[in-house]
Chains A and B, each alone.
Chain A
Amino acid sequence: MFKYVVKRFLQMLVMLFALSVIVFLMVRLIPGDPVTMMLGQGAGKEAIAAERARLGLDYPLPQQYVMWLTNVFHGDFGTSITTHKPVLTEIVRRYPLTIIIAVGSTALSAVVGIAFGIISSVYHGKLADNILMFVSLFAVSTPSFFLAILLLIIFSVTLKWFPSGGASSWVGLVLPIITLGMQEVGYITRITRSAMLDVLGEDYIRTSRARGVAEHVVICVHALKNAIIPVLTSIGLRFGSLLAGATLVETVFSLAGIGRLTVDAVAGRDYPLIQGCVLILAATFVIVNTVVDVLYTVADPRIEFDS
């Protein structure tokens, strides 16, 4: 197993390397001269020459990459073109809020989704199951920005329970977390349901029932224990997409998270900032997925390691 864990982490390093190459090449892939694009058409010749020299554009590509990566390892992602502050400072300032939203909605969706999934599997084919499947279908199909606007209209504009934007206190985070969590509830309900249905059909469950174990113990202890591992794994694997998905929610609720930062950077053609945000978000995704994957194999001894 140790060998597997090491192999998985080596794979992760390769992935991170590939990511860094792509993020590096992003700016070079822009049609036209990247420096003119970055500084705008009106930029003076000297400014362009200075920026070229700073980016090392006159060196061969591999050398440019090494220079860029060395800087990144030193925490130097360059300077934002629009705010003139170091990219890393911007990211450090805005990332925590996005992480809070993502963690909050993961927790919310795990509790609600697993509960829904269990209920759905217990009442398989009955009314409760059909209703919950219908709810989860709409939960995954409603665009989060639309749900956010609906919640705003109901709870903020009409009922005035929550502020319509900003995160001056935790109250401002309630609606964003619910919005982002709803979509997850849909996925987790389905995953829990099918995992529970698989387990509930097994012989040992029938044995437990025959032995006269109370039904709620059979379901919540015997069955759930085996069904929960793949469910928790899926929840972990979806965490990274939540970080990116938070972009839409941050936009509607005017929250200064990294998602909004990325979109503003793209809109403002602020390439150093885009590179920094994309690299950080994708790297988080890859690292979280590796850790979840490794935990999964540790948690379930039945999994084979050679695949």
Chain B
Amino acid sequence: MKEIVQRFCRKRMSVVAGVMLILIIAACAFAPLYVHVDPLKQNLFNTYARPSAEHLLGTDNLGRDILVRLLYGGRSSLAISFSGVLSGTAVGVILGVIAGYFGGIADTLISRLIDVLLAFPGLLLAIVVVAILGSGESNTVVAIAIFSIPTVARMVRGEVLKIRSADYIAVCKVMGESSARVIVRHVIPNAISQIIVNVTLQLGTAILTTSALSFLGLGVQPPAPEWGAMLSSARDVLRSYPLPAVVPGIAITLVVVCFSLVGDGLRDALDPRLKNA
């Protein structure tokens, strides 16, 4: 463990990104504890206010504080992405383990399912899910989860196939360990570093997908603050006052860059063999 931390800390960029990410997540997550302004509170006498001591990033078209909305919006974007990716990863790991460990019909069925999910290019899969379930926060989580299942399942399946043929797994079986025990004690721990790296990288993609869905009007619905939705509603006044659009855009980009750098750093730290792969 100490070695892993040391290896991670050797990549300066990843450390900086990691610290920034923790600060951003904490700032958003604990926003209700220290921000005492309602993100939905309008003040039609104070629209498009320039940044000032009272409103650090100014106000939007309805006189709502942009910084407060940014923090609450981040809460929403991050919460959706985390719950989506984590639940998608859980399902993906289970499917991948079943396919890789047991093989046979289970493998064929699951592999075909992965293929079909991957046949919907990029954003289209998320759009299809929303088309079936409808828009809204919880359905966006489902869309993100389904979006992240195929990549995880395929990766875990590959890892399990590699591990399954290792000698020590054969030894465990000869010694009479049950399949469940072999999977939980030996197979998953071997794949865990890959899974962690994958979750980190997918969180970045999930932020992009969540905000894209909301931007298109298919995700979180206004007036609820969400980074993509904020950008979308700021489009109408782009000509006269671009700040409300630029602020959430920078936030999304920054968070995605950070997740990507942390993911790269984790990959190198957890598995030195994968360097530059």
Contact = CB atoms under 8 A, between A and B. Distances in A.
Contacts of B131: 26, 265-266, 271, 274, 278
Interface string A240-267: 1101110110011000000000110111
Nearest to B131: A266
B121 interface: yes
A146 B253 contact: yes
Given A149-B231, A153-B238, A266-B131, A282 B124 contact: yes
Judged by DSSP, the binding face of A is helix
A150 interface: yes
Interface string B222-237: 0000001001100100
A254 B116 CA distance: 31
Contact of A137 (B112, B238, B252, B261): B261
Interface string B189-220: 00000000000000010001001100111100
Nearest to A14: B112
A149 B235 contact: yes
Contacts of B123: 244-245, 247-248
A251 B112 contact: no
Interface size class of A (residues with CB under 8 A): 35 or more
B121 A266 contact: no
B185 interface: no
Contact of A252 (B116, B235, B242, B256): B235
A38 to B, nearest CB: 12
Nearest to B252: A143
B257 to A, nearest CB: 4
Interface string A1-38: 00000000000000100110010001001110000000
A121 B122 CA distance: 28
A272 B37 CA distance: 44
B120 A263 contact: no
Nearest to B211: A143
A142 interface: yes
Nearest to A274: B131
A26 B132 contact: yes
Given A153-B242, A247-B216, A274-B131, A282 B121 contact: yes
Given A248-B216, A263-B218, A267-B218, A141 B204 contact: yes
A152 B238 contact: yes
Contact of A143 (B128, B132, B208, B260): B208
A285 B127 contact: no
B216 A263 contact: yes
Contact of A266 (B127, B208, B228, B252): B127
A287 to B, nearest CB: 10
B116 A149 contact: no
A103 interface: no
A262 B121 CA distance: 13
B164 to A, nearest CB: 18
Given A142-B253, A157-B239, A244 B121 contact: yes
Contacts of A22: 116
B257 A138 contact: yes
A196 to B, nearest CB: 13
Interface in B232-252: 232, 235, 238-239, 242, 245-246, 249, 252
Nearest to B256: A141
A141 B253 contact: yes
Given A146-B253, A265-B131, 10 more contacts: A29-B132, A30-B132, A140-B260, A143-B253, A244-B127, A248-B216, A262-B124, A266-B218, A267-B217, A281-B121
19 contacts: A18-B115, A141-B253, A142-B253, A143-B228, A145-B215, A149-B235, A149-B238, A149-B242, A152-B238, A157-B239, A194-B276, A244-B124, A245-B123, A247-B127, A262-B124, A263-B127, A266-B127, A282-B119, A285-B119
Top 8 nearest A-B pairs by Cβ distance? A146-B249, A241-B122, A141-B256, A244-B124, A240-B121, A241-B121, A285-B121, A244-B121
Interface of A: 15, 18-19, 22, 26, 29-31, 137-138, 140-143, 145-146, 149-150, 152-153, 157, 194, 197, 240-241, 243-245, 247-248, 251-252, 262-263, 265-267, 271, 274, 278, 281-282, 285-286
